[in-house]
Structure formats: structure tokens, C-alpha cells
């Protein structure tokens, strides 16, 4: 089950119980998907764009 499906389903308003039933996974599977997504997001590097006024 792709993490994007699990996280997207939760973000779309489905409850843990609904996701468990719909995709035949457990609450532990859902938590693992959320943990994976969190860890992936923490690895992202953000490069702020310069302010528009910084360019004449």
C-alpha cells in the first residue's frame, strides 16, 4: 500500500477505521505510513527564495 494513499486518505477526511477497512490494513500500518511521511519531510531541504524587492 503506497504511503501516499494512506496519508492522502487521512488528509481527505477518512478516519483510521475507514482507512483500515478500505485498504485492509491495521492501525499500526497507518501509524508506520505517517511516521515514514514525517521522516521523509524532515529530510527535505528548504531553500528560501530571495525577497522580490532584492532584485532591482
Q: pLDDT for 8-53, tens place per residue?
A: 999 999 999 999 999 999 999 999 999 999 998 888 777 777 777 7
In a domain, 50, yes or no: no
Indicate the number of domains in the chain: 1
- Within 12-53, residue ranges assigned H as helices are 16-23, 27-43
| pLDDT (0 to 100) of residue 43 | 84
For residue 10, the model assigns a pLDDT of 98
pTM here is 0.75
Structural domain boundaries enclosing 20: 3-44
pLDDT beyond 70 at 54: no
Helices (H) and strands (E) in the chain, counts: 3, 0
- Three-state SS for 47? coil
pLDDT at position 45, please?
Answer: 75
Beta-carbon contacts of 22 under 8 Å, excluding residues fewer than 6 positions away, are 9, 14
Is 54 part of any domain?
no
In a domain, 36, yes or no: yes
Tell whether 51 is covered by a domain. no
Cα 19 to Cα 10: distance, rounded to the nearest angstrom: 7
Amino acid at each position: 500500500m503506497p504511503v501516499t494513499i494512506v496519508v492522502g486518505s487521512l488528509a481527505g477526511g477518512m478516519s483510521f477505521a475507514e482507512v483500515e477497512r478500505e485498504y485492509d490494513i491495521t492501525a499500526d500500518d497507518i501509524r508506520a505510513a505517517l511516521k515514514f511521511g514525517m521522516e521523509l519531510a524532515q529530510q527535505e531541504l528548504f531553500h528560501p527564495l530571495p525577497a522580490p524587492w532584492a532584485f532591482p
